[in-house]
Amino acid sequence: MAKVKMKRTGFVLDMTPLVDIAFLLLTFFMFTAKFKSEAESEQKFQIKRPKASADTAKLPDKNLAIIKIAIDSITPNDTSYYYEMSNEKDRSIVYATAPGLDDAQRKKMQIKASLTTLDGLIRETRITNLNTKFAIDADKRVRFKWVSDCMEVMRKNRATAFNLVTDKKQGM
């Protein structure tokens, strides 16, 4: 029997489940997305964090002051301290009152600091808001001297409890 040649008509694909899943994923990623803070978008360096496995605590979001010890990406031997705060209200007060800063620095979100300016910044932060949590976010390649000096400055200002920022070790 001869096959009847069917004329092809445009076929319709039911895209509903596809769209369902696509939107589900989209909403998931939209809600979980966390964008870089203003201070981070300013920075030109990237910190390679050391890896640790024992701790599971997460970095607090509120009232956080981070001291970053980074190796500048342009000149590899240039290590500096960078100071940033997450609380905007406190930040404006601290940056305006901390000694040893010029006007250009005060406007920035992230301050490149020496050890003495860091001392002033930490002191002002402690005066402004006693609940501020401190964290040291240091590159794993820096010498320990940078970290111990920073810890000493914090100790002087009675910020004796602080966090060291690490990355999770994979495969543990």
Contact flag: residue 33 with another protein (CB under 8 A): yes
Which of 84, 80, 168, 167 lies closest to 133 in space, CA to CA?
84
Contact flag: residue 37 with another protein (CB under 8 A): no
d(CA 133, CA 162): 7
Contact flag: residue 130 with another protein (CB under 8 A): no
Residue 29 amino acid letter: F
Encoded tokens for 149: 């000096």
Interaction mask 73-102, another protein, x per CB under 8 A: ------------------------------
Encoded tokens for 172: 């543990």
SS3 46: coil
- Residues lying near another protein in the complex (CB under 8 A) are found at 12, 14-15, 18-19, 22-23, 25-26, 29-30, 32-35, 49-59, 69, 135, 137-148, 151, 154-156, 158, 160-168
